Amino acid sequence: MTAIAPEIRLLAAHLRPALGLASEEAPPLTLAQAEWAMRRHRVGPLLHHALAGRADGDAAVGALLRGSYERNVRRQLRHRAATQRFTGWLAERGHNALVVKGWELGAALYGDAGLRYSKDIDLLIGAAAMQDALGIAAANGFLVSGKPAHQGMRKARLLIGRFKEIGVGDPDYGVQLELHSRLLVHPPPCWSDPEPGDNNWPSLSNPEYVLYLLIHGAWTYWDRLKWLADGAMLAQRVERELIPVVLANARLLHCEEAIVAGLRMVGDLWGEALVADWLAHSNVPADDALMQRHCAMIAERLGYDARTPFPQRLLRATGIRRNPPVFGTHPPRLRSTIDNALFWMASKL
């Protein structure tokens, strides 16, 4: 069992009913714990669903979580409207766009889009459409990379070739759209993005999409409980015959150890039975060193109160300390150093 912080295990226990699992006895959440769960781990709507109707709950906690769910429902409606408008503008210019993570994922995983907190909308538009898309955003008064249009475009031009997405803020709907030129930061040779017009790709019946969701979790080291909850639902929702296909594809991309680490953490928090079918088809043994490094990193990052502490970020930005690689090996140090330097320069614009 991995050394996961007790407060994470407490939240995981309370989340069980929202994940379709039997309830477990756990101390009631305090108001401070509920606020932390909403802010740090973005599971307020899920906790509302899990705890609704419990007689032993604190009324203030219940009201706080109910408000989190209701705000998220409204947010998802704004996301949908903003996406439809922006993709319409892109279509007028002859560009397709694909929603890869948004309100539809919440509906697919939980049966209710409002239960999955989603801060922004991820749109795959491809590299060829990026300049037009940023121009559309700037012309319509959007923030570009967090800056007013002209200043933001300068920042975006510095980042556009080396980073996978640029954020644009819709001033009318108050939401952020992440415009992706590609899905992965440093894609391995065997990876290929879907076509932006392929609306059948983001489906839990597509093993490539399932693997993408698991890779996204692995790339962030699952550092919010929200993403591990998604992993728990994926483990249950994906058809059994797709599991060996997903893991075989992970093997080809040399990321099976990273994927299995996330699955093992799901099992650690909510029961090994949840991921037993997945682990049965995996070639990664329980004592695999790289997989265990990933598990340790996940546990470490889950326990942070907020973002990664500055000393840790500095060590990683300078390449002195490197996270366990997702795709088997690290990208070249020089490339990582240049990426970090460009990102720092862009933040100063």
**pLDDT at position 45 over 80:** yes
Q: Which residues contact 72 (CB under 8 A, 6 or more apart)?
A: 44, 45, 114, 115, 117, 118
**pLDDT at position 248 over 60:** yes
Q: What is the pLDDT of residue 230?
A: 98
**pLDDT at position 329 over 80:** no
Structure-block tokens of residue 73: 């429902």
Task: Report yes or no on whether pTM surpasses 0.85.
Answer: yes
Averaged pLDDT for residues 13-37: 96
Select the more confidently predicted residue: 154 or 92: 92
**pLDDT at position 280 over 80:** yes
Q: What is the pLDDT of residue 149?
A: 79
What digits encode the pLDDT tens for the residues 61-91? 999 999 999 999 999 999 999 999 999 999 9
**pLDDT at position 309 over 80:** no
Residue type, 104: E
Averaged pLDDT for residues 262-268: 98
What digits encode the pLDDT tens for the residues 116-141? 999 999 999 999 999 999 999 999 99
**pLDDT at position 342 over 90:** no
Q: How many CB atoms within 10 Å of residue 329?
A: 9
DSSP 8-state code for residue 123: E
Q: What is the pLDDT of residue 304?
A: 87
**Measured distance CA(86)–CA(69) in Å, rounded:** 26
Burial of 273 (0-12, 13-18, 19+ CB in 10 A): exposed
Which helix (DSSP H) or strand (DSSP E) does residue 167 occupy?
strand 165-170
User: The dihedral of CA 281, 286, 291, 296: what is its sign?
Assistant: positive
The number of residues making up the chain comes to 349
Q: Regarding beta strands 175-180 and 120-124, do their DSSP bridges make them parallel or antiparallel, or are they unpaired? A: parallel
Averaged pLDDT for residues 240-254: 98
Which helix (DSSP H) or strand (DSSP E) does residue 166 occupy?
strand 165-170
Structure-block tokens of residue 121: 């909308």
Task: Indicate the average pLDDT of the chain.
Answer: 91
Q: How many CB atoms within 10 Å of residue 306?
A: 8
In this prediction, what percent of the chain has a pLDDT beyond 90? Answer: 77
Residue type, 339: D
Averaged pLDDT for residues 238-259: 98
**pLDDT at position 9 over 70:** yes
Q: Where residue 3 falls among pLDDT bands split at 50, 70, 90?
A: confident
Annotate the chain with three-state secondary structure: CCCCCHHHHHHHHHHHHHHCCCCCCCCCCCHHHHHHHHHHHCCHHHHHHHHCCCCCCCHHHHHHHHHHHHHHHHHHHHHHHHHHHHHHHHHHCCCCCEEEECHHHHHHHHCCHHHCCCCEEEEECCHHHHHHHHHHHHHCCCEECCECHHHHHHHHHHHCCCCCEEEEEECCCCEEEEEECCCCCCCCCCCCCCCCCCCCCCCCCCHHHHHHHHHHHHHCCCCCHHHHHHHHHHHHHCCHHHHHHHHHHHHHCCCHHHHHHHHHHHHHHHCHHHHHHHHHCCCCCCCCHHHHHHHHHHHHHHCCCCCCCHHHHHHHHCCCCCCCCCCCCCCCHHHHHHHHHHHHHHHCC
Secondary structure of residue 256 in the 3-state scheme: helix
**Measured distance CA(139)–CA(159) in Å, rounded:** 20
